[in-house]
Structure 1
Amino acid sequence: MQETEIRLVEGMDYRTGCPIAVEIEGGIISNIRRIQNRPGLPWLAPGLVDLQVNGFGGVDLNAPPFSPDSVTAVTHMLWREGVTAYLPTIITNHDEGIEEAVRAVADAIRQSPTLDRVILGIHLEGPFISPQDGPRGAHDPAFVKAPDWALFERWQKVADGRIRLVTLSPEWPGAHEFIESCVRHGVKVAIGHTAANTEQLTLAVRAGATLSTHLGNGAHPMLPRHPNYIWDQLAEPDLWACMIGDGFHLPDSVIKVIMRVKRDKAMLVSDVVQLGGREPGEYETHIGGRVVLTPQGKLHLKGQPQLLAGSVQTLRQGVWNLFKKQLCGLQDAWDMASIRPAAYLGLSARQGLTVGAPADLVAFAPADEAVRILRTIKQGMILHEADTHMQGGGADD
């Protein structure tokens, strides 16, 4: 679509419910003022930031043919979901497959200034994860391996230096040295798909790991009472924690515990895969092979309903799921999917809906079962607008 600049947008502040007008100059919020309420005003919130996107709408970023067009297609579909920034996530594969996948992302960014603003980098989830059943999840065991800095440098070169986050398991010998190398080169490290013990996790955090990838998932179905790698990660004050809020990956009680322990370091990710937005049924996928998408929206390996194969729900749906279940208020749910991941990555968007912040905004309409995204704005440019009349200012108002 043709991008349209916007200078004014009006709506209800997602934090307070007060009607506001947001003025925009040069892609930055220049003023926020109170206005008179009127029927039809949408709600306004910061754009959603997703640290883990594997694909969407039938497009898989991890399966051939790897192409910039696939990355562009996923990005455009995410705009309709209110996502203004994200990390395409490349998972465990053979070495050449990972190379082709990261190259496709880099090529897409190179071809489009808009994608360069929206795609924050690449999340490499694997292949340096646990080989054990359970922690490995649905990742192909044939390609799981120990951290290899020379191999990572090869992928990073092909990716134009855009690999920004690596998920690994510190149970491998030499993992903490690999983490230190990542940190020295400006790459963030997350712990995930791990069977690491307490000492290994402690070394990883000391080496510079700062995040738990989808904490509580990618784990054995049964764990020792204590110690175990979930308790250990919860106990580390320097670790941020990501949660999948689709209602299937984590029980409500676990989400409550993570939120209470991690506080401002608790975040939501989608972990959405290519089957997001598709009809229920059986599918063949790159990750896990044959999978089943249930009518309730659960995606699992065929014949193994206890093993999930990613999520089919976006951040928009995760936010509403937490709010609808009264696990937290709307502001907290939205912040976990917007300003907190922005803060983790050190983005100016962490300022949220404030003067001086980038005008990365979403206008939405809440309903009983979902949130409808009406408009998605990136640095003052409209990326998506629903097919309905919008209140609150159009192009060049």
Structure 2
Amino acid sequence: MILHARHYATGRPVAVTVEGGRITAVAGSDQNPLRWIAPAFFDPQINGCLGISFNSPALTPERVRAVVDVCRTHGIGAFCPTLVTADFDALRHGFATLTRAIDADAELARRVPCFHLEGPYLSGEDGPRGAHPKEHIRDPDWVEFLRWQDAAGGRIRMVTVAPERAGACAFIEKLTAAGVVVAIGHTGATRSQIQDAVTAGARTSTHLGNGCHAVLPRHDNYVWEQLACDDLHASVITDGHHLPAALVKCIYRVKTARRLLLTCDASSLAGLPAGTYREWGTDLEVLPSGKVVVPGTPFLAGSGHFTDVCVANVVRMAGAPLADAIDMASARPRHLLGLPVTTITVGQPADLVLFDWEPDGDVRVREVL
């Protein structure tokens, strides 16, 4: 199979030969294709879609596959299934079901190589807590985490923690020693608490600028502190609802494409029509725009969009080159998580996305190989 397309990093027409699932040749093309080619997206935070939640007691391997198939249509070649704050049994069921699904399906295992635990060790305050159910928010518990990690077959590779929780720094040290990437998120931490978390091993921030109080001190606050920390990567949700363009531009310019990850943070309601739904033990509303909110509040509850939307938006919002946008949605999260980084070079797996795109336009996925 020979794929003629414009290379995402150069804009030049290339002919990419694929045989047996790998790239066997890359050469210039004498065709003038309109479509583009890039490494498939990797999203570090997807909670589900189309009414399927990885937290749900009704989760089955078939439903895991359904989410993977929907994500594929949006250019997402692989992602971290993300489980959010819940009681112990709900989280154990989610991780055990994911593990059962991928143990039985090698292709599925390639699409979901590791998991993200977002909670329950988060701030209990309104604002930073977001839509996480308050009754299940709690302090870190290493023994509890190990039981989840056992159910996950050792695949929990990222954990989001609020550094102000009692015992958080010791917990972060243990996670780091175990090879788990620690993210700071859903936090109301002080400057010193964030600094202590970084010293303990925290390496990134979960959806920086979201999961915050509605009003913050203008200078001394946890958003600025994480933004200024050169030892922290950060993920951002560029779905057009979670962050204004000016803030996306500032975060991009400070962190740069080397330390920034794009995530859609797709909730279980992503892809559903407008309406009110029951999820995570509370009512949530999908607005006609696709925005997902806690009814009657300004608080967002995940996203109704996918990574393809985020890639196009970061170009529009931050003025990022397409090459940076793609790398932030593919190479950067893989590198942070210690996973192989896909490139369009001979010998690499053909983990590729073909898409249509014009400057300031949408990314329209044609195919994921």
Same fold (TM over 0.5): yes
Q: Which residue of structure 2 aligns with residue 139 of structure 1?
A: 132
Query: Which position in structure 2 is the counterpart of 1:337?
Result: 329
Aligned to 2:343: 352
CA shift digits 1:206-233 (9 cap, x unpaired): 1111010000000001111222111111
1:328 aligns with 2:320: yes
CA distance in 2, matches of 1:37, 1:281: 46
Distance between the aligned counterparts of 2:245 and 2:110, measured in 1?
A: 34
Which of residues 51, 54, 62 is equivalent to 1:58? 51
Distance (whole Å) between structure 2 residues aligned to residue 98 and residue 326 of structure 1: 36
- CA displacement 1:99-145 (0-9 Å, x = unmatched): 11111111111110001111121100000001111111110000000
Aligned length: 367
Q: CA deviation at 1:332?
A: 1.6
Q: Matched residue of 1:205: which SS?
A: helix
Q: Does 1:201 align with 2:194?
A: yes
Bigger drift between 63-72 and 193-202 goes to 63-72
Q: 1:138 to 1:103 in 2, by over 3 A?
A: same
Letter in 2 for 1:127: P
Would you say 1:295 and 2:288 are equivalent positions? yes
Shift in alpha-carbon separation, 1:172–1:296, aligned structure 2, 3 A: same
Quote the offset at 1:187 in angstroms: 1.0
2:356 equivalent to 1:365: yes
Give 3-state SS (helix, strand or coil) of 1:44's partner.
strand
Q: CA deviation at 1:324?
A: 3.7
For residue 85 of structure 1, give the secondary structure of its aligned residue in structure 2.
strand
**Structure 2 match to 1:213:** 206
Aligned to 1:284: 278
Residue 41 of structure 1 deviates from its aligned partner by 4.5
* Shift, 1:277, TM fit: 1.4
Q: TM-score, normalised by structure 2?
A: 0.95
User: Are 1:313 and 2:305 counterparts?
Assistant: yes
**Residues 163-210 of structure 1: CA deviation (Å, up to 9, x unaligned):** 111001010122111111111111111000011111111111111110
> Is 2:3 aligned against 1:12?
no
Amino acid at match of 1:285: E
Maintained 8 Å contact 2:45/2:82 = yes
Equivalent-residue separation in structure 2 for 1:129 and 1:203 (angstroms): 16
Structure 1 unmatched runs, 5+: 1-6, 378-397
C-alpha separation in 2, matches of 1:358 and 1:179:
34
Q: Partner of 1:275 in structure 2?
A: 269
2:220 is paired with a residue whose SS is coil
Task: Tell me the residue number matched to 2:36.
Answer: 43
| CA-CA distance at 1:17 after TM superposition | 1.8
Counterpart residue number, 1:388: none
Aligned to 1:73: 66
SS at match of 1:230: helix
Q: Report the counterpart of residue 112 of structure 1 in structure 2.
A: 105
Q: Is the 8 A contact 2:39 2:343 kept in 1?
A: yes
Match of 2:17 in 1: 23
Cα RMSD for the two superposed structures: 1.6
| Equivalent residue letter for 2:235 | C
Match of 2:116 in 1: 123
Aligned residue for 1:88, secondary structure, equals strand
Describe the shift of the 1:243–1:106 C-alpha distance in structure 2 as closer, same or farther (beyond 3 A): same
What's the counterpart of residue 245 of structure 2? Answer: 252
Match of residue 175 from structure 1: 168
Does 2:34 match 1:34? no
Q: CA deviation at 1:29?
A: 2.7
Q: Is residue 35–residue 356 contact of structure 2 (8 Å, CA) maintained in 1?
A: yes
Q: TM-score, normalised by structure 1?
A: 0.89
SS at match of 1:308: coil
What displacement does 1:25 show? 4.7
Contact 1:252 / 1:327 at 8 angstroms: preserved in 2? Answer: no
Between the aligned residues of both structures, percent identity stands at: 42
How far apart, in 1, do the equivalents of 2:330 and 2:187 lie?
26
Distance in 1 of aligned mates of 2:233 and 2:23:
28
**Residues 370-390 of structure 1: per-residue CA shift (max 9 Å, x gap):** 32211101xxxxxxxxxxxxx
Equivalent residue, structure 2, for 1:262: 255
What is the CA–CA distance in structure 1 between the aligned matches of 2:75 and 2:55, rounded to whole Å?
Answer: 23
* Structure 2 portions without partners, runs of 5+: none
Moved more, 197-206 or 122-131: 197-206
Once the two structures are TM-superposed, the CA of residue 67 in structure 1 deviates from its matched residue by 1.7
